[in-house]
Structure 1
Amino acid sequence: MRREPRPAAHKVVVLVVDGVYPFELGIPQHVLGSAGGRYEVMTAGVDGKPVRAVSDLTVTPGHGPEVLAEADTVIIPGYAITQASAATTDSKALDALSRVRPGTRLVSICSGAFLLAGT
């Protein structure tokens, strides 16, 4: 059962990138979404399009990158890393993250740290 967030709920935006691991994508909603309405947890894609997960899944985030500007916390879940992706940060993801306000908490889960390091 999903509870509606309180008016002053802490806004968390989970940035969904190509190759996302579905388990890591679900962690923020599972943990923070069950905190009695203290957090509003949303997903955002880098360009408003569906995102290919690491498995045979396609994920459609609920929002585009514009909601990153409203976030109190941005979470980047783990995603598949290759030698090429570790060497070059995705420009669409960097563009999306440029919308984040100064002072916003940035959190990574597992390999999501590569994207944070690239910013």
Structure 2
Amino acid sequence: MHAVILSSYAIATNQIADQAQWHDNMMIWETARPYLYARKTPGNRIIIGGLDESTGYLEKRVPMILYNRDKLIKQLVNLFPELENRIWADYYWGALFCEIHDGLPTIGMYPDHPNSTSYWVIAGM
């Protein structure tokens, strides 16, 4: 089994009292590659993330955080044009994760990396 290191990005917007025309507070999940997800928070923010890319080198990923922060804002405005000029990223981050070729979850040790483990966690919203 061979794991590939990927980078993923996310933002949390400023607080917005009237958060777009959001149907039933549903989570949005676009399955294209790179994928995109968005959801509302109880604190009147919107979290949007994704834009995964194969970049396991920290020095290449860190500058991409700002670039993808701005790209995520544009993606959100594409989904909800009424938010243009009303939202910005109060918080933004990037993270590294591993994925195997078939995308299936794994549990346990990677034989080639004895000091790492992989866990599949299902979290409720």
Q: TM-score, normalised by structure 1?
A: 0.30
Higher-Rg structure is: 2
Considering fraction of residues, name the structure with more strand.
2
Between the two structures, name the one with larger relative contact order (CA 8 Å, sep ≥ 6): 2
Considering fraction of residues, name the structure with more helix.
1
Q: TM-score, normalised by structure 2?
A: 0.29
